[in-house]
Amino acid sequence: MTATDTHRAIEAVWRIESARLIAGLARIVRDVGRAEELAQDALVAALEQWPESGVPDNPGAWLMATAKHRAIDLWRRNKLVERKHEELGRELEARQEMAVPDLDAALDDDVGDDLLRLVFTACHPVLSTEARVALTLRLLGGLTTEEIARAFLVSEPTIAQRIVRAKRTLARERVPFEVPRGAERAARLSSVVEVIYLVFNEGYSATAGDDWMRPALCEDALRLGRILAELVPEEPEVHGLVALMEIQASRSKARVGPSGEPILLFDQNRALWDHLLIRRGLTALDRAVALGGARGAYALQAAIAACHARAQTPEATDWTRIVGLYADLAEIAPSPVVDLNRAVAHAMAFGPQAGLDLVDALASGPSLRGYHLLPSVRGDLLRKLGRTDEARREFERAASLTRNARERELLLERAAACLIKLDARGERPSSRGKLEGAEGSRDP
Amino acid sequence: MRFMMLMLPAGYEKAAPGAMPDAGAVSAMMKYNESLQKAGVLLALDGLHPPSMGARVSFSGGRPKVTDGPFTEAKEVLGGYWMIQVKSKEEAVEWASRCPASDNEVIEVRQVQEFSDFPADVKAAAAGFPDLQSGQQKGS
């Protein structure tokens, strides 16, 4: 093995082991930041030693043993300092020797509970949402600061600082390394689910930048969601989240064109949808429903995505059911974005004029001002009604509002297509794109 | 990226119809499967009945010819597979290395082809294929 091969092998081991390593250490040292530093020390030791010695047979155990030795060294050194300060006598010293924590026993326990503690700690409400996202990707996803920075188009020092601050906040606020109980648990779990979906969504429809999708981020979120579903298999909300992500991810390959341009739901080649992921998504949705979670926000969105997934063609979609599901969603998670998507489904079920009436009612309110999908949807409905010139102006307005370069291009193309249609008087425009049902919403 | 971990158990080419691994081996394997699942990397897995229950269709001379199993002359036969989603070949190899496999078993780690892996001409040639599969008009 060359040094580069070994480095790549170490990266792979790190990806598999880091979360469990940090979680196990955090239980012992009761400080997530300290635990992560210890794990990092072990990684550095591996990078130094493995190119010479080769990758050990049980690399995870090696990393854990190394980190554990560091922990004991640190603990002894701290005790030493303490002792000097307090001028403790021989008797106390003996007692302290006995008090060395039984790390081996602690580490042999089931690591699942520790992972769950780590999940809840990384998504703790004392942290800002962006800090939770960064810390979750770092501690649970095993991503480097550089990878997180690249994924969110933020500079590396910014992310590094965000993580340092988050760890400091957790220590300062004395956030216990534990799984919350009772009423608190539900709210805290929702926060975890939200963080994971936020990561997924940033990968699925990047809010800014040149790429329409960042698939690696979707995969990281999916992996975190699947891990969480294994940790708390009794929680319907988590299965709803996994269902939604699996089904949305099933369209990844179909929703980007050869030069990176977005392809909207109606124009997607459904043969490119990933049926393995659809099947997994439908199974997860069944599980959420069986656990009594059919009316959860994620399960409802997953059910909407499932309506699309089951339809061989756009025309075969059960739009009436989708309208009903959006109505349910609007009840439990009222949001103008949900209303907008509902209007789109309404138009598909009952005609463009019916949809436009709903959209116009929304447009008169202030909540969607500046949201590019509002004029985009309006433009689409106007075009279907033959009001091409108004449609073109709406697409242009939508283009001026989006921060995503690929999306802007698409919207300008659709505006241009309206012009062609005007010239040709009645010729069908080349794109029959429309807003992707649930996919347009980032704010369920 | 997706990888298939293909389990190639030596001797399986001669296994009697209905042959099953013993409960101890299955239980160790289940633990491994669970570890893949808990790590969020497992997408699918299946075990295959022995070749003695299957058949091979060969195409020598441009004509299909069916041979019923077992295929005692075969060097390697498939016993089952895992499909995993990981970030690198190294990660797939690391997962394969953790399998509680026995002396006679080999796991071949192979990356699943993605459409984007194909060169332009192959892409063009393959473009219509999924449409044929689903009986749809080509998407725009």
Residue spans of the domains in chain B: they are 2-58+65-134
Averaged pLDDT score across all residues of chain A = 86
Q: Is the pLDDT of residue A440 over 50?
A: no
Is A226–B40 a contact, with Cβ atoms under 8 angstroms apart? yes
Mutation target to probe the B interface, by most B beta carbons within 10 A, among A269, A283, A313 is A269
SS3 content of chain B, % helix, strand, coil (to 5): 35, 25, 40
Residues of A in contact with B115 (CB under 8 A): 253, 272
Mark A213-234 as b/e (b = at least 16 C-beta within 10 Å).
Answer: bbeebbbbbbbbbbbbbbbbee
- Separation of alpha carbons A347 and A369, rounded Å: 21
Q: Is the pLDDT of residue A84 over 70?
A: no
> Shortest CA distance to A26 belongs to which of A16, A43, A38?
A38
CA distances from A405 to A143, A172, A213, A287, A315 (A): 26, 41, 11, 38, 30
Q: What is this structure's pTM?
A: 0.85
What pLDDT is stored for residue A187 in this prediction?
Answer: 92
Each residue's pLDDT tens digit, B1-54: 999 999 999 999 999 998 888 898 899 999 999 999 999 999 999 999 999 999
- Separation of alpha carbons A64 and A419, rounded Å: 65
Instruction: Kindly indicate whether the domain formed by A318-440 is annotated with CATH number 1.25.40.10.
Output: yes
Q: Is B134 at the interface with chain A, CB within 8 A?
A: yes
Q: Coil, strand, or helix at residue B65?
A: strand
Nearest to A271 among B38, B94, B131 (CB): B131
Share of chain A above pLDDT 90, in %: 63
Average pLDDT for A245-271: 88
The secondary structure of residue B52, as a DSSP letter, is: G
Q: Is B93 at the interface with chain A, CB within 8 A?
A: yes
Q: Which of A9-23, A278-292, B86-100, B122-136 has the least mean pLDDT?
A: B122-136
pLDDT grade, residue A342 (50/70/90)?
A: very high
- Separation of alpha carbons A252 and A274, rounded Å: 8
Average pLDDT for A367-382: 89
Residues of B in contact with A263 (CB under 8 A): 139-140
Q: Is the pLDDT of residue A150 over 60?
A: yes
Which pair of structure tokens corresponds to residue A77? 């050194």
Is A227–B91 a contact, with Cβ atoms under 8 angstroms apart? no
What pLDDT is stored for residue A90 in this prediction?
Answer: 52
Each residue's pLDDT tens digit, A109-131: 456 789 999 999 999 999 999 99
What pLDDT is stored for residue A385 in this prediction?
Answer: 94
Any idea which residue has 């329409």 for tokens?
A212
Give the highest mean pLDDT range of A211-215, A264-268, A385-389, B106-110. B106-110
- Separation of alpha carbons A325 and A299, rounded Å: 10
Q: Is B117 at the interface with chain A, CB within 8 A?
A: no
Residues of B in contact with A114 (CB under 8 A): none
Q: Is the pLDDT of residue B73 over 80?
A: yes
CB contacts < 8 Å between A and B, how many?
82
Is B38–A263 a contact, with Cβ atoms under 8 angstroms apart? no
Q: Is the pLDDT of residue A360 over 80?
A: yes
Every domain of chain A and the residues it spans: 184-316, 318-440
Using an 8 Å Cβ cutoff, are A55 and A2 in contact? no
Is A270–B134 a contact, with Cβ atoms under 8 angstroms apart? yes
Each residue's pLDDT tens digit, A385-419: 999 999 999 999 999 998 888 889 989 999 999 88
Residues of A in contact with B44 (CB under 8 A): 276
Q: Distance, in angstroms, between A44 CA and closest chain B CA?
A: 19
Average pLDDT for A342-358: 94
CA distances from A340 to A205, A354, A439 (A): 17, 13, 12
Q: Is the pLDDT of residue B99 over 70?
A: yes
Using an 8 Å Cβ cutoff, are A268 and B138 in contact? no
- Separation of alpha carbons B50 and B78, rounded Å: 8
Average pLDDT for B93-101: 95
Is A12–B91 a contact, with Cβ atoms under 8 angstroms apart? yes
Q: What is the DSSP string of A358-415?
A: HHHHHHTSSTTTT-THHHHHHHHHHHHTT-HHHHHHHHHHHHHH--BHHHHHHHHHHH
Residues of A in contact with B100 (CB under 8 A): none
CATH superfamily membership of B2-58+65-134: Dimeric alpha+beta barrel (3.30.70.1060)
Is B134–A271 a contact, with Cβ atoms under 8 angstroms apart? yes
What pLDDT is stored for residue A41 in this prediction?
Answer: 95
For residue B38, the number of C-alpha atoms closer than 13 Å in the C-beta half-sphere is: 18
Q: Is B90 at the interface with chain A, CB within 8 A?
A: yes
Residues of B in contact with A227 (CB under 8 A): 38-40
Q: Coil, strand, or helix at residue A184?
A: helix
Residues of A in contact with B133 (CB under 8 A): 271
Q: Is B138 at the interface with chain A, CB within 8 A?
A: yes
**Global ipTM:** 0.85
Q: Is the pLDDT of residue A327 over 90?
A: yes
- Number of Cβ within a 10 Å radius of residue B121: 8
Average pLDDT for A251-257: 88
Is A280–B43 a contact, with Cβ atoms under 8 angstroms apart? yes
